[in-house]
Chain A
Amino acid sequence: MSDIPFPGAGEALPLTGPQEKSAGLLGWVSSVDHKKIGIMYLMAGLVFFGVGGIEALLMRIQLAVPMNSFLSPQTFDQIFTMHGTTMIFLVAMPVLTGLANYLVPLMIGASDVAFPRLNALGLWLLISGGLLLYFSFVAGGAPAAGWFNYAPLSEKAYSTTNGVDYYSLGLLITGIGSVTAGINLIVTIIKYRAPGLSIRRLPLFIWMVLITQFLIILALPALNASLVMLLIDRRLNAHFFEAVSGGSALLWQHYFWAFGHPEVYIVILPAFGIISEVIPVFSRKPIYGYEYVAGSTVAIGVLSFLVWAHHMFAVGLGHSIDSMFAISSLLIAVPTGVKIFNWIATMWNGSIRFKTPMLFATAFLVVFTIGGLSGVSLAIFPIDWQVTDTYYLVAHLHYVLFGGTIFGVFAGLYYWFPKMSGRMLSERLGKWHFWTTLIGFNMTFFVMHFLGLMGMPRRVYTYPNLPGWGAMNMISTIGAVIMGLSSLIFIWNVVVSNHSGELAGDNPWEAWSLEWATTSPPPEHNFDRIPPIRSRRPLWDLAHPENPDWKNGR
């Protein structure tokens, strides 16, 4: 080891941001430190997760029994719209951006992101946009046209309250924030990697974050354009999406999904990245087929722009267009399948340690695959016609977004919480959290496959007492309550462990990427020194000088 030069303290680490002194609340709110900003993103996401979760529970209470009158139809419409919008824009995106914010500089050996002040702007735009969206509740009523807000329902003639305006403005603001964060992270990853960390040695989480940020800066403009067009329609009496005056409601659908489908990958790819970090560490093996995991992400990124109309099979675009989009959608299953097999191959013959992060990662493989398979079935458009706008779709999207994104995020939070706080999350509470989540999740959503196939439509506030419907909906509601309780266990775990959890030390999981080379929590400038990077697993090389990766051609 002696022949490898260590950079001295602070060397090769350009300090990008102004250094901060203030502590307390002001220190947090005025911070431009990527770690504090990352944690604030996570906390904002967690708060909105609570709000969106309560909305989900309200819906499940209403649907627990047939012909229920707990919520009025109008309220139900507002609640499901806000639930979807919240979970996508104010939970999935901020939580993933928060993890990326916290981890990207640490994992590439940098002291901060490229533009720390822009970074803070992105966070506060997100929070402002979220608050503006929720302000609609006290300003005449929340938006009620669904999270994808189809025209002409979202036009002035049919959505008479200001809810849709708050939806548009709120999402514009969070969208601008996402683009600034995207630009910032791309520049950081391209320009601030530590010496030796070439693009082929980049941790896979960073690979996935990088691809995701490109999707963000290219897909969010489609949403922003649609939102300004809708706002111009609503506020300036224009005609973009009004078919009566020469506009086209169909264009909204095309534009929304031109954003909406890449968005699906914006919220799943970073979760893939988390899984690609967690599975090797807890299987004690390097990732199987690094190049294929990274390369298949690029393939997914490109394909994600070519499949939008599979959300529109029921519109009647014609047989040839439907077939084209069915084929491109089925194609996406290939790179996704490549990843699943790589993860399984990484676990194969590994000495697997089933700590909480690994439990979530393993469950991810199963539930995400179920969601992927129902997705493949929906890509076949005759099947889509049969089950369109039924609970089959609700089941599918929750298996990929909850079973995929949220399970991935929980794996990541249990994995990196020790780095962020310096303390371990309780394994005992973690296992309770895991099993209640897994059981509650499957109870809630698995039965929805059957309800959908039996024809129960989504987004309808109640249903008649058809054979089996009441029982299955009751199972679903009980599952949702269990999930609600499991979230409380998680919050309890975070609060208790942050205060008096077991001390973590620098590298509690014996992991191999750079974030574990510094203290937990890291100092403001992140690293005093960076270990030499001569392979994909610099900390493995450091711990095993007799058998380093770079001698074995990895």
Chain B
Amino acid sequence: MDAEAQTRFESWDNNKLAMTLFLLSEGTFFVFLIIAYVYYHSLSNTGVEAAKVLDPLKTGIYTIFLLSSSFTVWQSEKSLRRGKQRAFQTWLLVTIVLGAIFLFGQGSEYLHLYGENVTISRNIFGTSFFTLTGFHGLHVLLGLISLAVIFVLALTGEFAEKHSSAVEAIALYWHFVDWVWVVIFSVIYLWTLF
């Protein structure tokens, strides 16, 4: 009776299930920061300053790096399932590099804005912009650290088996970080074009 009653979730691995629940929680956290940005956009007309100081094209290019890392981490998982250790490690490394390039892009953008005297304390645009993108950047950084740990473990042959729920859970997290950025990029950068 219970084998039949098993739902989809019951067949999930613990780590993947826990990560999904964690991402549900994190997603809610970002929803509140995103709503705050949108709210101040209309309340205090922060879009004007966003259009003035942000560079959607440059950030858009860095965005492509981040989004393609979703593809590479998926390739990495696929290679592991097929038992191709070498390809698994290589795709993992590519993912880390792509993520690092994105983070570098964000760092240089922050430096540029700081030079223009756009800071978190200057006005409500700076406040909502740096909080939202900053928390996303922090999540990218944590993802990179996790991927790096996985990569080092992979080099030591930790994932000799064809299945690792740790890799799958971290990949899930990485996809989450990427797709949250799609929303943030749309709300902050693409909005300046209209």
What is A's interface to B at a CB cutoff of 8 Å? 114-115, 179, 182-184, 186-187, 190-191, 195-200, 217-218, 220-222, 224-226, 228-229, 232-233, 236-240, 245-248, 251, 255, 258
Cα–Cα, bound, A240→B125 (Å): 10
Report chain B residues within 8 Å CB of A184: 18
Query: Do the beta carbons of A238 and B32 come within 8 Å of each other?
Result: no
Report chain A residues within 8 Å CB of B9: 190
B 17-60 contacts with A by CB, 8 A: 17-18, 21-22, 24-26, 28-29, 31-33, 36, 39-40, 43-44, 46
Query: Do the beta carbons of B21 and A198 come within 8 Å of each other?
Result: no
Closest residue of A by beta carbon distance from B21? A183
Query: Do the beta carbons of B32 and A114 come within 8 Å of each other?
Result: no
Name which of B106-114, B116-124, B183-191 contacts chain A. Answer: B116-124
Query: Do the beta carbons of B131 and A238 come within 8 Å of each other?
Result: yes
What are some 28 contacts across the A-B interface (CB < 8 A)?
Answer: A115-B14, A182-B25, A183-B25, A191-B10, A196-B1, A196-B2, A197-B2, A198-B1, A217-B28, A221-B26, A221-B29, A222-B28, A225-B32, A228-B131, A229-B131, A236-B120, A238-B120, A238-B126, A238-B131, A239-B121, A239-B127, A240-B131, A246-B123, A247-B44, A248-B43, A251-B39, A255-B36, A258-B32
Cα–Cα, bound, A196→B2 (Å): 6
Cα–Cα, bound, A115→B21 (Å): 14
Is B89 in the interface zone, CB < 8 Å from A?
no
Is B128 in the interface zone, CB < 8 Å from A?
yes
Query: Do the beta carbons of A237 and B121 come within 8 Å of each other?
Result: yes
Q: Which of A232, A245, A251 is B123 in contact with, Cβ under 8 Å? A: A245
Query: Do the beta carbons of B127 and A217 come within 8 Å of each other?
Result: no
**A187 and B124 contact, Cβ closer than 8 Å, known pairs A217-B24, A218-B28, A238-B131:** no
Closest residue of A by beta carbon distance from B16? A187
**A236 and B2 contact, Cβ closer than 8 Å, known pairs A187-B21, A251-B36:** no
Report chain A residues within 8 Å CB of B1: 196, 198
Question: How many contacting A-B pairs (Cβ < 8 A)?
Answer: 106
Report chain A residues within 8 Å CB of B29: 221, 224-225
Query: Do the beta carbons of A195 and B43 come within 8 Å of each other?
Result: no
Return A158 CB to nearest CB of chain B, in Å: 18
Report chain A residues within 8 Å CB of B31: 221
Cα–Cα, bound, A248→B1 (Å): 55
Q: Which of A195, A199, A217, A240 is B36 in contact with, Cβ under 8 Å? A: A240
Report chain B residues within 8 Å CB of A115: 14, 18
Cα–Cα, bound, A248→B12 (Å): 43
Cα–Cα, bound, A200→B7 (Å): 13
Query: Do the beta carbons of B17 and A190 come within 8 Å of each other?
Result: yes
Query: Do the beta carbons of B21 and A236 come within 8 Å of each other?
Result: no
Query: Do the beta carbons of B21 and A239 come within 8 Å of each other?
Result: no
Closest residue of A by beta carbon distance from B127? A238
Report chain A residues within 8 Å CB of B46: 246
Cα–Cα, bound, A183→B23 (Å): 10
Cα–Cα, bound, A184→B21 (Å): 9
Cα–Cα, bound, A218→B29 (Å): 8
Is B193 in the interface zone, CB < 8 Å from A?
no
Cα–Cα, bound, A300→B131 (Å): 33
Is B5 in the interface zone, CB < 8 Å from A?
yes
Max chain B Cβ within 10 angstroms of own Cβ: one of A179, A195, A221, A237? A221
Query: Do the beta carbons of A199 and B17 come within 8 Å of each other?
Result: no
Closest residue of B by beta carbon distance from A199? B5
Closest residue of A by beta carbon distance from B135? A228
**A183 and B18 contact, Cβ closer than 8 Å, known pairs A198-B1, A221-B25, A222-B28:** yes
Cα–Cα, bound, A258→B18 (Å): 24
Cα–Cα, bound, A196→B1 (Å): 7
Cα–Cα, bound, A3→B20 (Å): 41
Report chain B residues within 8 Å CB of A248: 39-40, 43
Cα–Cα, bound, A225→B33 (Å): 7
Return B89 CB to nearest CB of chain A, in Å: 28
Query: Do the beta carbons of B128 and A240 come within 8 Å of each other?
Result: yes
Closest residue of A by beta carbon distance from B131? A232
Query: Do the beta carbons of B25 and A217 come within 8 Å of each other?
Result: yes
Report chain B residues within 8 Å CB of A226: 32
Cα–Cα, bound, A191→B44 (Å): 48
Max chain A Cβ within 10 angstroms of own Cβ: one of B14, B39, B44, B123? B14
Q: Which 5 A-B pairs have the closest CB atoms?
A: A246-B44, A246-B124, A225-B32, A221-B29, A237-B121
Return A530 CB to nearest CB of chain B, in Å: 13
Return B7 CB to nearest CB of chain A, in Å: 8
Query: Do the beta carbons of A218 and B24 come within 8 Å of each other?
Result: yes
Max chain B Cβ within 10 angstroms of own Cβ: one of A200, A233, A246, A255? A246
Given contacts A221-B28, A221-B29, A240-B128, 16 further A-B contacts (CB under 8 A): A115-B14, A182-B25, A190-B10, A191-B17, A198-B5, A217-B24, A228-B135, A232-B120, A239-B121, A239-B124, A240-B131, A245-B123, A247-B40, A247-B44, A255-B32, A255-B36
Report chain A residues within 8 Å CB of B39: 248, 251
Cα–Cα, bound, A229→B32 (Å): 10
Closest residue of A by beta carbon distance from B31? A221
Return A478 CB to nearest CB of chain B, in Å: 44
Closest residue of A by beta carbon distance from B46? A246
Return A189 CB to nearest CB of chain B, in Å: 10
Report chain A residues within 8 Å CB of B12: 191
